[in-house]
Structure 1
Amino acid sequence: MPASRSRFRPPPGSPRRARRLLPGLAAAAVALAVAFLVHGLVPVLPAMTLAVVLGVLTANLPWAGAFTAGRGRPGLDFAGKHLMRGGIVVLGLKVSVMDVLGLGWLALVLITGVVAASFGGTYLISRLFRLPPVTALLVATGFSICGASAIGAMAAVRRIKHVDTVLPVALVTLCGTLAIGALPLLIHPLQLTAPVFGAWTGASVHDVGQVVATAQTAGTAALGIAVVVKLTRVLLLAPVVAIAGAHQRLARQPDDSPESGQVRPPVIPLFVLGFIAMVGLRSTDWLSDGWLEAGAVLQDILLGAALFGLGSAVRIRALLLTGGRALLAALASWLLIAVLGLGAAVLIAG
């Protein structure tokens, strides 16, 4: 009898399920408030990056680690999975097709080429460092498109376990944070103009918030083109996960048989369709600035809580023992993407 009770999971929406989720979600809310406060005091530190860092700190402090591994875990896992999907949907409100087309066809081809080459190159580098295929896929997705959001989307469409997203999220957050400090130091040695630096930042830095934090160091001209180039990469999230979903359906797996009772994953998950719908809505210019600002706040809340949840699963000791090869692979991939992005930026804005 005790064993059967331990396997029982309350149905979604039940009061018991809500009580199990509440401690972790409350912790995520508190952490998110702290992240926004620190970001307000030190704008160069993106709130999303701070959310991941706070999650990692919480998981590794003796007095808090027991909570994140125990009572808080259900709610933190819920945030890392479901709130992440909601944040990806709302992320679509940042992307206007008209802004993307305004870059010109040459820029669109170059950015698409950078994403494709970054994805393939990062996957190959990860495999050369003997990372598992699942880890290599998630790292390639996060590095080439839009950081942790892309990792969450790919994990959902390929039905990758939540625990397997922890290391890729940690790597993409680390390298994106390094970019905030490293790229501005190269402006003068490389003699980059503000537009070229902005395009380089948008083409090579992972998360949207990290792009803003990096590009704004070179002024508004750099920031403007950086955001548009970055959002063009974000727009490619939909076709990339659609291709991954199609591949997942076509791949023959032992558990795909009718006897298994398992349903094959959709080609395009519902939350990706929601992302596409939000892109379409944003592109109509029907929404006022107030609605767009509200959407941006909601996106930050959802993604910030999700990133805290993912960060709270990172155990630094285990990461140091098992993540050495992964760290080297991530740094090599970061260098590859920086070189590819710089070449594209010179052609786009040079």
Structure 2
Amino acid sequence: MDSVIKKLPGISLAAIIAVPAWVLGQQFPVIGSPVLGILFGMLLAFWKRPPAFQSGVTYTSKKLLQYSIILLGFDMNLFQIFQAGSQTLLLMAFTLTATFLGAYLVGKALKVDRDTNILVGVGTAICGGSAIAATAPVIGAKDEDVARSISTIFLFNVIAAFLFPFLGHTMQMSDFHFGLWAGTAINDTSSVVAAGYTFSDAAGNLAVIVKLTRTLMIIPVTLVLAFYTAKRQSRTGSANYSFAKIFPWFVVGFVAAAVINTFLPLPAGMGKSLASFGKFVIVMAMAAIGLNTNLIDLVKHGWRPVVLGFSCWAILAVTSLAVQYGLPGSLF
């Protein structure tokens, strides 16, 4: 109980910051609440807050962030995901492989630090902020790395929402092909929705389903990263090495939530409400991360992640098009 009381000031501060970020994010979905949360938090980081807040701020940015991912599972319907079919899974196998490989090579050439490299790669390849939120605790990323990665992903989300429909019409893409392209090559759900439905209703419907399928890739990717982190710590002889601590248990909760939402008769709207609350907690976590981030240092050292993010984004978009139009017509 004492521990809970000690954390309440910091948790409350993150919640207070998250409220206006959440409201404004609903009005401007292309920007999104998580980005606003982290931005507001970074602005308030200039305030020298009392030490009593720090415990709760840290808890929100680490533990509550993991719990929020579990709640997102309640908005997943596995039957709907499976209906996306083998075409989507094949396409994602190519795009994810190309993006991760590109992130590794470009990040190494730019000398981007390991954690930021992983977060930008995962955020680009899978689903933006949610993937970064799920990956950060697995690899033990610092708040500065998360802030840098979220900011980078946000920049290309906004560009994609406006650029993709224009490019789609210019290339005379069908609703089907554009839906696949938007669903696999745009990072955040809000930008996928904006771009997909700007092109057409049919393209938007397909893009959202593809995006949901892509979100499930959080599961294998975080598990692989957990094994990688465990092996790395074991090899370096880390005193804190423990695979049980590194293992992303919250991903198990995410899967359980998706199974419950798919197979159990939850009250109408309950799944979406729980997922919405999870998204609000993510905004709280982003605000807490912002509170622990030095905005001046972020801007000063931010150009490399931006170049990395652009490279990953370009690789993802081009690979999606190449696979769709380059493979036999029987597949796409």
Cα contact 1:198–1:215 (8 A) shared by 2: yes
Greater shift after overlay, 289-298 or 191-200? 191-200
Match for 1:149 among 119, 130, 146?
A: 130
Q: What is aligned with 1:255?
A: 237
- Cα–Cα, structure 1 residues 318 and 284, in superposed 2: closer, same or farther, change >3 Å? same
Greater shift after overlay, 196-205 or 310-319? 310-319
Distance, in Å, in 2 between the alignment partners of 1:246 and 1:44 is: 34
Q: Give the alignment of 1:38-117 within 5 angstroms.
A: 38-59=24-45, 65-67=46-48, 72-117=53-98
- Cα–Cα, structure 1 residues 190 and 246, in superposed 2: closer, same or farther, change >3 Å? same
Cα drift, residue 73 of structure 1: 4.3
Cα drift, residue 31 of structure 1: 2.9
Distance, in Å, in 1 between the alignment partners of 2:116 and 2:92 is: 24
Q: What is aligned with 2:146?
A: 165
Identity of aligned residues (%): 27
Distance, in Å, in 2 between the alignment partners of 1:311 and 1:88 is: 19
Per the normalisation by structure 1, the TM-score is 0.82
1:257-279: CA deviation from partner (whole Å, max 9, x where unpaired): xxx46534457421111011112
Cα drift, residue 285 of structure 1: 5.5
Match for 1:122 among 76, 87, 103?
A: 103
Cα contact 2:70–2:257 (8 A) shared by 1: yes
Q: What is aligned with 2:321?
A: 342
Cα contact 1:166–1:313 (8 A) shared by 2: no
Q: What is aligned with 1:27?
A: 13
Are positions 1:18 and 2:8 aligned together? Answer: no
* Structure 2 gap segments, 5+ residues each: none
Q: What is aligned with 2:306?
A: 327
Distance, in Å, in 1 between the alignment partners of 2:174 and 2:52 is: 51
Cα drift, residue 131 of structure 1: 0.8
RMSD over aligned Cα, in angstroms? 2.8
- Cα–Cα, structure 1 residues 255 and 289, in superposed 2: closer, same or farther, change >3 Å? same
Distance, in Å, in 1 between the alignment partners of 2:27 and 2:243 is: 47
Distance, in Å, in 1 between the alignment partners of 2:48 and 2:303 is: 27
Q: What is aligned with 1:5?
A: none
Cα contact 1:198–1:225 (8 A) shared by 2: yes
Letter in 2 for 1:123: Y
Distance, in Å, in 2 between the alignment partners of 1:339 and 1:109 is: 15
Letter in 2 for 1:305: M
* Structure 1 gap segments, 5+ residues each: 1-12, 60-64
Match for 2:254 among 262, 266, 275?
A: 275
- Cα–Cα, structure 1 residues 44 and 253, in superposed 2: closer, same or farther, change >3 Å? closer
- Cα–Cα, structure 1 residues 195 and 274, in superposed 2: closer, same or farther, change >3 Å? same
Letter in 2 for 1:342: L
* Structure 2 residue matching 1:66: 3-state secondary structure: coil
* Structure 1 residue matching 2:203: 3-state secondary structure: helix
Distance, in Å, in 2 between the alignment partners of 1:51 and 1:226 is: 26
Match for 2:186 among 199, 205, 210?
A: 205
Distance, in Å, in 2 between the alignment partners of 1:272 and 1:313 is: 25
- Report how many aligned residue pairs link the two structures: 328
Distance, in Å, in 2 between the alignment partners of 1:149 and 1:188 is: 29
Distance, in Å, in 2 between the alignment partners of 1:341 and 1:311 is: 33
Distance, in Å, in 2 between the alignment partners of 1:80 and 1:300 is: 14
1:24-44: CA deviation from partner (whole Å, max 9, x where unpaired): 333332332213322444455
Match for 2:296 among 317, 323, 341?
A: 317
Q: What is aligned with 2:272?
A: 293
Per the normalisation by structure 2, the TM-score is 0.86
1:275-310: CA deviation from partner (whole Å, max 9, x where unpaired): 111122233253343112212221221111112222
Cα contact 1:112–1:233 (8 A) shared by 2: no
